[in-house]
Amino acid sequence: MLVGLDVGGTHVDVVLVNHGEVEEKVKVPTQSDNLLESVLSALSAILKNKSPEKLHRLVLSTTLGTNAIVQGKVDPVGVIVVSGPGIDPEEFSVGDHYVPITGYVDHRGREVKPIKRVEVLNAAKKFEKAGIRQVAVIGKFSVRNPVQELTIREILKDKFDHVCLGHLISGNLNFPRRIATTYLNSAVQPIHTNFFNSVRDSLQKHRIEKIPFILKADGGTLNLDASLEQPVQTILSGPAASITGALLDPPDSPTTAVLDIGGTTTDMAILVDKVPLFEPLGIKIDRYNTLVRSFKTMSVGIGGDSVVRVEGDRITIGPERIGPAMAYGGPRPTPTDAIITLGLSADGNREKAMEGMKLVADKIGVSPEKAAAQVFEKTCSEILTALNRMVKEINKKPVYTIKELLTGYQVDVKSLLVVGGPAPYFASKLCELSELDAFVAENPEVTNAIGAACARTTCAVTVFVDTEQGFLLVPEMDYKERVSQTFTRQDAIGKAYSLLRKKALALGCSENEIEMELVEEMEFNMVRGFYTTGKNIRVKAQIKPGIITA
Amino acid sequence: MKAKHPLALVFFPAFDWAISPTHPEREERLLYTQDQIFEEGLFDIEGIVEYKPELATIEDIQRVHFCVPDERAVTTESHLISAGGAITVAEAVLNRKVNRGFALVRPPGHHSMRVVHGARGFCNINIEAIMIEYIRDKFGVDRIAIVDTDCHHGDGTQDIYWHDPDTLYISIHQDGRTLYPGSGFHYEMGGPNALGTTINIPLPPKTSEEGFLYALEEVVLPALDDFKPELIINSAGQDNHYTDPITNMNFSAQGYAKLTSRLGADIAVLEGGYSIEGALPYVNLGIILAMAGLNYDRVVEPDYDYEKIKQPRSNTEYIKELCEEINEFRKNIDEMVPKVRAKGETKTRNRQIYYDTDNITENQIEEVVLCNDCAGALKIDSQALGRKRICAIMIPRKACSICRDMGYRWFEEADRRRFDYVYLQDRPAKKYIAR
């Protein structure tokens, strides 16, 4: 049996899945000041009367990191950046202890200017004086040659608790994002480590020996130990949980939009051939653009509890939530009140809901029922407008080869899959307005927890080969080897697969789960003068995103 | 960080297109530029927006060229994307989605002339001209200036606008006596109907930042002030760089960025530039930052040494005299115009044009109506040796009725037995006829 647990803003959702079927589902309220207690009480509720030995896998998704970042409750981090020429590194400053130093690696990974040891030591002194225990080190083009980052870590490793290096975070190029991501990783590391060590201890006390996996923003998992090194990958796993849950039984359609309708927001994602689309570089966390792999999602401030207002003779929905629906004792009318007024849902206090709709009705001069119908229609149509915007943006994504441009795939949504608490009420209206097939997930109120339960262990590797200089590099794994002039693209692909397998196993993937795919392969002849002097090969491989169906 | 001038970028490296495997125009050309701009995170900067290129259409090409035998025969998809990328950027600027635009596309276009029998100087169709005529038709813009900062004289663009008084073409390049295509001398100033709207500034080899910026201040900027264009286009070739393998100049990334910043072009289009590792990543970064109004002080090549690439004193003196002479010409244009237009009804020039990329030799007789009211109807008798002979007639965009009638008369009179094809481009009527 698989157990998935997703901590949300108001509820902890937890499910127990056996052979692809949801056997148990539990919701407990989130105690925002005691996440550990929330997690444990939800777990003990679902595992009541179950024998812990039968637990095959336990996956957690929490808001721990996100909350800490949004509330500014993260540890101070000393950030050292090695930038060389280009945009002034001060533009990418993060945290209160940011130190650019001398040194420079170019786009081919050649060390053009060495670092100065004394500058590193001076930075360290400053950090120590400020009581800093976490250091992040990021070099421009360090994914082409990490030598300067590694040297700096050697100098600093005994002086601080943890030194995070940029090239280990992602193989992608983007120095500002690498800075922000490495910084966030260092910033949430202490709080993440404390929390999950406590979780591990408490589980052992409850005689649960299975070490939990943590959900990532890309809908995959990694084991607890690996997450301690890269906690940043587990921030913002919430939206990924629901999308992954939707993969359990997606509609048979070439392109499906997943709409996760919650209380405050609706999160959207696109499935092409039942596989979610990814962000090209990484997710945005709070105000930081990062290199954290994630699904392509868009969030709009429209949900069941969004505040409904009348401006002039126009009804507006959201974008904020002021409280629950009036039917549940809230202060202001909401789409949920409209749903209850219309009789679509029998939950809540209908009189209170009607009262809310009357507030709207009086301002636009119609009956409460008519007002409710308008509120409901407006809510649905705004969700669909946002979806259209998202699809348009995806289709505008630039490509860099003639073949891709001419044969370019364009997203054309054919069906909707609605998940989240209010999903059943919304589906038929969304269907009517969009003229698309709309489906409601099974157990829509816990799709997120189902996603956590069934998520696979995923990871990716970036292989960069330069046969003129004679090396192969996989930055995220700190792997480098010499290669000869005769090294081919096929060799690089082989290497990518074997290293990916190794990495996946280290993250807790089981051998039979491993399903790999290439996501990028490019090869360039390098010509200097009139002669071919080498090959520049770039290969990316990943564990195919998806779910465990066993 | 936020762009002071919101900037549209089309980046299309055409990673699957080359003239031949070891040709300077090969797949690898913009690879390191891509690495640099990705690593710098340029597309995350607020106000820098990346656009996906549209494909140029046959109609877009027919506003500019006479392709022999037709457009399909002399272009591939890559050329349509390159020209289309320039159009995409122009659309974003003219629709006021952004202030400025840069089409970082390949292959280039500024050696393509009005008549196209094949490829010359790595170019098949003139991507700037196609963009400009698109802008004129769709947005009604009239006066446009092109400043070509590629190291090679943009003889194609010059040819297309030779007779057009509404397009100012200025080229700064390495002296034609020392480099392909061997033209662009300072006395080339435009046809009889457009005298003074072509300006050539041929600089001697080894000219560095000092010389380029001097020519910019002394000739280019004053000429732009006089012309008062509605739009300024920069043909942003990057082969004046001191590391370029096929030219002999000493310009730098800092120099390009300063030039871009002072020029303040609305739209830039990439042309040549073949130092793919040592120059392009830095020059492109400098140009993008300068166009967006962002700080570029730290954009410097790894091996940059100001003293080492400083131009010889003789260059400084030569350039000073050259600029004086050009400005002297410019002052006297108004007196020269009536004289050049007084010599008969039409003016004819005979030329031989060589297509180095495709090894074609073309003989051309071009006849233009001398006209005080418009750019003048144009007739070209063109024979590519061992290939086709064609007659092409152009009625200019703002043609007077006399030139319009002349164009149609030429078209009717063209002897179908002598020519494989006869073409008519009627710009006012937006018509293109081939037979």
Counting residues of chain B whose pLDDT is more than 90, the rounded percentage is: 98
CA distance, residue A445 to nearest chain B CA (Å): 36
Write the residue in B11, B17, B36 that is nearest to A398 by C-beta.
B11
| Side chain identity at residue B377, one-letter code | A
Inter-chain CB proximity B39 and A400 less than 8 Å: no
CB-based contact B340:B195 (threshold 8 Å):
yes
CB < 8 Å from B in window 129-158 of A = 140-141
pLDDT beyond 80 at A549: no
- For residue B58, name the pLDDT band (cuts at 50, 70, 90): very high
Cβ atoms within 10 Å of B177's Cβ, excluding its own: 10
Write the residue in B41, B53, B298 that is nearest to A177 by C-beta.
B41
| Whole-number Cα distances in Å, B329 to B145, B339, B371 | 19, 14, 22
- For residue B343, name the pLDDT band (cuts at 50, 70, 90): confident
pLDDT digits (tens, 9 = 90+) for B69-102: 999 999 999 999 999 999 999 999 999 999 999 9
Look-up of token digits 């009179």: B413
CB-based contact B116:B74 (threshold 8 Å):
yes
| Side chain identity at residue B132, one-letter code | I
Q: How far apart are CA A155 and CA A288, in angstroms?
A: 28
SS3 content of chain B, % helix, strand, coil (to 5): 35, 25, 40
Inter-chain CB proximity A174 and B39 less than 8 Å: yes
**Tokens (6 digits) for A50:** 């179950």
Q: Which CATH superfamily is domain A2-70+191-244 in?
A: ATPase, nucleotide binding domain (3.30.420.40)
Active site residue B111: yes
The Cβ-side half-sphere exposure at B364, using a 13 Å CA radius, reads 22
pLDDT digits (tens, 9 = 90+) for B163-208: 999 999 999 999 999 999 999 999 999 999 999 999 999 999 999 9
CA distance, residue B402 to nearest chain A CA (Å): 44
Give yes or no for B245 touching A (CB within 8 A): yes
Give me the total of CB pairs closer than 8 Å, taking one residue from chain A and one from chain B: 114
- Using a CB-CB cut-off of 8 Å, the residues of chain B touching A86 are 36, 39-40, 285, 298-299
Identify the burial level of B45 via C-beta atoms within 10 angstroms of its C-beta, where 0-12 means exposed, 13-18 middle and 19 or more buried: buried
Counting residues of chain A whose pLDDT is more than 70, the rounded percentage is: 100
Q: How far apart are CA A154 and CA A55, in angstroms?
A: 42
pLDDT mean across residues, chain B: 96
Write the residue in A91, A402, A524 that is nearest to B28 by C-beta.
A524
E-strand spans in A133-177? 134-139, 162-165
- Provide the 8-state DSSP code for B207: -
Q: How far apart are CA A196 and CA A36, in angstroms?
A: 9
Architecture of domain A250-444: 2-Layer Sandwich (3.30)
Write the residue in A91, A527, A531 that is nearest to B26 by C-beta.
A527
pLDDT digits (tens, 9 = 90+) for B224-270: 999 999 999 999 999 999 999 999 999 999 999 999 999 999 999 99
pLDDT digits (tens, 9 = 90+) for B262-303: 999 999 999 999 999 999 999 999 999 999 999 999 999 999
- For residue A209, name the pLDDT band (cuts at 50, 70, 90): confident
Strand A266-272 to strand A297-300: parallel, antiparallel, or no bridges (unpaired)? antiparallel
Q: Which of A549, A497, A483, A280 minimizes the C-alpha distance to A394? A: A280
Look-up of token digits 């010409």: B329
Give yes or no for A93 touching B (CB within 8 A): no
Give yes or no for B20 touching A (CB within 8 A): no
pLDDT beyond 80 at B319: yes
CB-based contact B102:B265 (threshold 8 Å):
no
- pTM for the predicted model, two decimal places: 0.94
Q: Assign a CATH topology to domain B2-321.
A: Arginase; Chain A (3.40.800)
Rg (CA), chain B: 21
- For residue A550, name the pLDDT band (cuts at 50, 70, 90): low
CB-based contact B224:B234 (threshold 8 Å):
no
Question: Which residues of chain A does CATH 3.40.50 include?
Answer: 78-177
Give yes or no for B1 touching A (CB within 8 A): yes
For chain B, give me the number of helices (H) and strands (E)? 13, 16
Q: How far is CA A307 from the centre of its chain?
A: 27
Cβ atoms within 10 Å of B70's Cβ, excluding its own: 15
Contacts of B139 (CB under 8 A, 6+ apart): B94
Question: Which residues of chain A does CATH 3.30.420.40 include?
Answer: 2-70+191-244, 250-444
For the residues of A451-462, what is the DSSP string, one character each? HHHHBPB--EEE
Q: Assign a CATH topology to domain A78-177.
A: Rossmann fold (3.40.50)
Map out the domains of chain B as residue ranges. 2-321, 346-434
